[in-house]
Structure formats: structure tokens, C-alpha cells
Amino acid sequence: MPYFLLRLSPPRPAFPFDATEAEKALFGEHAAYWIARADAGEAIAVGPVFEASGAWGLALVEAADEAAALALGEADPVIRARTGFSYAVSTVPSLILRPH
């Protein structure tokens, strides 16, 4: 099955360092969602990336196609809440994985 990188863009450059209490609560739901996707075997790795230009989130997933990968992102509570987050999807044509 193909792999995809979902890049989660935050609503503003200072996020998560200036997150409101409501956003922190929403990110609890976000984490629970992705933990469930990992437990189901759909997500390989999920986490924040901190760069000098700002933070963003990644989800490396295994899905049937790009539409299915995007559907995983669209079901994320931070997207469903319509609070300014968005996902971009990129195909990962090959991946070397460490043995289990």
C-alpha cells in the first residue's frame, strides 16, 4: 500500500507556543485521533516539527491512494473544528522502514 506525508499547517506562525486553552483541548482530541489511527495501522508516525520559521505537524500514513490519505486528515478533529488548520498531502514513493 502507498505511503503519504500529511503536513499540518497551523493557523498562525507562533502556534503552538501561543495556543489558547480551547486549542490545547482540541489538540488533546487531535492526539487521541492519531493514536487511534496508529493503533489501526494507518499512521506510521505522527508528531510536531519545530523549525526556525515555525512549527508544523506531520503524519506519515499508509493509505490506498491520495484521496484516502486526505480523508484521514479531513477526519482530524482540528480540521473538523474549522479553526484555521489545514493539511497538504504528498506522495512518498518509497520508504525504508526499520524492522519491527
pLDDT digit string, tens, across residues 49-85: 999 989 999 999 999 999 999 999 999 999 999 999 9
Q: How far, in Å, CA of 30 to CA of 45, rounded?
A: 14
Contact 31, 16 (CB under 8 A): no
CA distance to 11, 70, 77, per residue, from 59 (Å): 17, 11, 14
* pLDDT higher than threshold 90 for residue 100: no
Q: pTM (2 decimals)?
A: 0.92
Q: What is the pLDDT of residue 46?
A: 98
Q: How far apart are CA 87 and CA 70, in angstroms?
A: 8
Report which secondary-structure segment, H or E, holds 41: none
